Amino acid sequence: MTQGDSAMRTNHPSVDDENEELDSALLEVRGLLDTILSRHRDLRSSRGSITPVRCEGEALAERVARLCATARRHVEVILAPASLPGQPSTDALHDALARYEGPALVRVLTAETAETADRGGPRPPGTWRTAPLPPMRLLLVDRATALVRVDSPLGRNAAQVNDATLVGTLLSLFEGLWRRSAPLVLPEWDGRGDARLTRAVLRALSEGVTDETAARELGMSVRTYRRHVAEIMGRLGARSRFQAGALAAGLGPLGS
Amino acid sequence: MERTLLEATALIDTAVTACRRRPTARSAVRHLDGSQLRATARRLIDEADHFVVVTTSGRPDLTTLLAGGLRSLEAARARGVPARVLLAPRVVRASRARLLALAADGCEIRVDAGEPREILLVDGVLALIVPARDADGQRPALVRDPAMVGVTCQLLKGTWNAARPLRDFHGAVARLRAEPAQDVLRCLHDGLTDEAAARRMSVSLRTYRRKVAQIMEELGITSRFQAGLRAAELGVLPAGDS
């Protein structure tokens, strides 16, 4: 259109100016319409990215079960229920994991320590690690879809997330927490009265006092103290005191 | 021409009516252009009333965004809005003076060398999430969905709890992550005797012990158990531990 104008320009300048004015005005409108169309499409595509899910009733549990069953390559889970440890976890996520039989690599990060986990029977498949986590639940399937749930004073909220950016960020944050986590210690850890002594020895170790000082404070011989340390290292699966410390880092507050 | 223009006007009017008839929903997620990012981030922080959390790994093309963000944060602090900033070590090095000033102003700042992430959380109800890398099909997203925002808050809180306060952070972590220190950490981790470790590293026993002492000093501890604990907390353990 603009090419043809140049021929007219030489002959009738006043008429051409008006045409050009119209032309540029129309082009402006056209540009605006393009922007509007693109924003509208953005909004429409965004709508599928997150689907809120009701927490009451079976809707959430069904989604969890269904999504988990479809996993083929990767499953990442965070289990940090808001309930107190010691209560039986009738958790849809826990159940879905227990039933999972697919080929995916399963990683579970739990807020529970060995003292409270495994109370519901044998641990579901996958690699389980523990870290002190604020309450939340997360299920990431094949790094493409996520189910999230959070309980807050304002209520319980859950949603299914399909957006690549959001799922990518959830995975990133998961990886960071996973790296700081510790292996879930085996159930044989807990014995009558042992737990308290174990904690005391761990605390002494973390304070960096000499074996002699620790033994004195715990009211035992140095030999006995060292035997307890060796026992703890065995249970943690540590080959060195350094490694024991590294593993103990994931066991949660040593004072509790 | 006139008829075409009149038809076009009628079509636009129809579209306006249709648009107005839609329920005023604020969508759970809105995707943004890169061009809208800076203004959006600034506006979000400027409108924050209760709490701002920012985390960045210093993605290179976001550096101007960061500078603008710092300005808005400073303004937010002046308004008395609590703020938390979680940074990758690289970002600390680049903006150290400014960050120290922000910290002195009551902004909590921590350092964590985790996976890349670029997130802005406002008042616990809004999240601006930027793809950490240039990945296909990933665009910045403004999120209002309570579950997604909530989980992001919790995940960040967990990361925050394990991060080190700015004042603790110094070159120590960088030095501990470098290969020479990692070699020593690996020997400690594997439980080798000092003699075996010195052999593995092809240094004299005395040199090995000196290196261990240096590391213990960097970590600020006195026993090897503590060293393991601290190394885990700082995230400098050699990769590949079981």
Tell me the backbone φ, ψ of residue A75, rounded to 5 degrees: -135, 125
* pLDDT tens digits in sequence order for chain B, 242 residues long: 889 999 999 999 999 998 888 776 677 888 887 778 888 999 999 999 999 999 988 777 777 777 778 888 889 988 999 999 998 877 877 777 788 888 888 889 998 877 888 999 999 999 999 987 767 778 889 999 999 999 999 999 999 988 878 776 656 666 787 888 889 999 988 888 999 999 999 999 999 999 998 888 777 677 888 788 777 766 677 765 43
Dist. CA A112–CA A110, nearest whole Å: 5
pLDDT at A132 over 60: yes
**Which value does ipTM take for this structure?**
0.70
Q: Which residue of A has its CA nearest to B116?
A: A172
Q: Beta-carbon neighbour count of residue B144 at 10 Å?
A: 16
Task: Give the pLDDT of residue A146.
Answer: 96
Q: Min CA distance, B130 vs chain A (Å)?
A: 7
Q: Min CA distance, B46 vs chain A (Å)?
A: 24
Taken in order B192, B197, B199, B200, is the CA torsion positive or negative?
positive
* Half-sphere exposure for A191 (CA within 13 Å, toward CB): 8
Question: Going edge to edge, which strands form the sheet with B29-31?
Answer: B29-31, B141-143, B126-130, B118-122, B52-56, B83-87, B108-111, B164-165
Task: Give the pLDDT of residue A182.
Answer: 73
pLDDT at A7 over 70: no
Q: Min CA distance, A164 vs chain B (Å)?
A: 6
pLDDT tens digits for range A80-98? 987 655 555 457 888 888 8
Is B161–A132 a contact, with Cβ atoms under 8 angstroms apart? yes
Cα distances from A12 to residues A20, A21, A25, A109, in angstroms, run 12, 14, 20, 78
Cα distances from B131 to residues B30, B116, B119, B139, B177, in angstroms, run 14, 9, 9, 6, 26
Report which of residues A236 and B206 the model is more confident about: B206
Task: Give the pLDDT of residue B177.
Answer: 79
Task: Give the pLDDT of residue B171.
Answer: 60
Q: Does B180 touch chain A (CB under 8 A)?
A: no
Topology adopted by domain B26-165: Endonuclease; Chain A (3.30.870)
Percent over 70 (pLDDT), chain A: 79
Q: Does B172 touch chain A (CB under 8 A)?
A: no
Task: Give the pLDDT of residue A9.
Answer: 45
Residues of A in contact with B242 (CB under 8 A): 183, 237
Task: Give the pLDDT of residue A149.
Answer: 93
Q: Min CA distance, B141 vs chain A (Å)?
A: 7
Residues of B in contact with A56 (CB under 8 A): none
Q: How many residues does chain A have?
A: 256
Task: Give the pLDDT of residue B24.
Answer: 65
Burial of B23-60, coded b for 16+ CB within 10 Å and e otherwise, reads: eeeebbbbbbeeeebeebbbebbeebeebbbbbbbbbe
Q: Does A82 touch chain B (CB under 8 A)?
A: no
Question: pTM for the full model?
Answer: 0.68
Q: Mention every residue, 6+ apart, whose C-beta is less than 8 A from residue A222.
A: A211, A212, A215
Residues of A in contact with B25 (CB under 8 A): none
Is B135–A164 a contact, with Cβ atoms under 8 angstroms apart? yes
- CATH 3.30.870.10 residue spans of chain B: 26-165
Is B189–A133 a contact, with Cβ atoms under 8 angstroms apart? no
- Binning pLDDT at 50, 70 and 90, where does residue A179 land? confident
| Mean pLDDT, range A182-191, rounded to an integer | 55
Dist. CA A43–CA A64, nearest whole Å: 27
- CATH 1.10.10.10 residue spans of chain B: 171-234
Residues 40-69 of A with CB under 8 A from B: 42-43, 45-47, 49-50, 52-53
Q: Are A149 and A136 in contact (CB under 8 A)?
A: yes
Query: Which CATH code is given to the segment(s) B171-234?
Result: 1.10.10.10
Q: Min CA distance, B99 vs chain A (Å)?
A: 23
Q: Are B236 and B173 in contact (CB under 8 A)?
A: yes
Q: Min CA distance, B161 vs chain A (Å)?
A: 9
pLDDT at A16 over 50: yes
- The alpha carbons of chain B give a radius of gyration, in whole angstroms, of 25
Dist. CA B209–CA B203, nearest whole Å: 10
Q: Which of B154, B151, B148, B153 is nearest to B124 (CA)?
A: B153
Q: For residues B103, B74, B126 and B161, what is the CA-based torsion angle, rounded to 10 degrees?
A: 0
* Half-sphere exposure for A236 (CA within 13 Å, toward CB): 25
Q: Mention every residue, 6+ apart, whose C-beta is less than 8 A from residue A111.
A: A79, A80, A81, A130, A131, A132, A133, A135
Dist. CA A250–CA A140, nearest whole Å: 22
Dist. CA A190–CA A248, nearest whole Å: 15
Q: Does A109 touch chain B (CB under 8 A)?
A: no
Residues of A in contact with B150 (CB under 8 A): 136, 148, 150, 152, 157
Q: Does A173 touch chain B (CB under 8 A)?
A: yes
Task: Give the pLDDT of residue A120.
Answer: 57
Q: Does A35 touch chain B (CB under 8 A)?
A: no
